[in-house]
Amino acid sequence: MIFITAKFQVRAEDAERWPEIVGEFTQATRKEPGCLWFEWSRSLSDSDEYVLVEAFRDEAAGGAHVTSDHFKKAQQTLPPHLVRTPRIVSVVVPQDDWSLLGELAVPGSG
């Protein structure tokens, strides 16, 4: 799978509304057949920063995502709400779901 984490520094005046601003894009991406997950979180240390954790089944699914109409629309509509270009880590990993964090195993949770 392609595993991606991106940090978005949102303009302070848009930070509270960011989930709404990216709502249509998020929902459309989650409906893509190759999308495994697409999850937003807000930083605990910087309330104007959002972190996106996303994964796609394979390179073809990632390619379909970045050429989709909703991605192209996001390229136009999201930057005005940002302080700077988002930072990203993107890697291909040989798995298709989350692994268990054995060091913090919860007995009986699987």
Residue 17 within a domain: yes
- Report the percent of the chain where pLDDT is more than 90: 97
The whole-number pLDDT of residue 109 equals 87
Residues for the chain: how many in total?
110
Which residues neighbour 7 within 8 Å (Cβ) at sequence distance 6 or greater?
43, 49, 50, 51, 52, 86, 87, 88
| pLDDT value of residue 62 | 97
Q: Is residue 100 part of a domain?
A: no
Tens-place pLDDT, residues 28-75: 999 999 999 999 999 999 999 999 999 999 999 999 999 999 999 999
How much is the pLDDT for 106?
95
Residue 104 lies in a domain: no
Is 107 a member of any domain? no
Per-residue confidence (pLDDT) for residue 43, from 0 to 100: 97
Give pLDDT, residue 98. Answer: 95
Domain that holds residue 82: 2-92
Cβ count near 99 (within 10 Å): 7
Are 36 and 57 in contact by the 8 Å Cβ rule? The answer is yes
Tell me, what CATH number does 61's domain have? 3.30.70.100
- Domain-embedded: residue 99: no
Tally of domains within the chain: 1
CB 54 within 8 A of CB 37: yes
pTM (whole model) above 0.75: yes
Residue 37 lies in a domain: yes
Take residue 21 and report the two structure tokens written for it. Answer: 């601003």
33 torsion bin: left (phi>0), alpha (psi -120 to 50), beta (else): alpha
Mean pLDDT confidence for 20-24:
98
Contact (CB, 8 A) for 5 and 88: yes
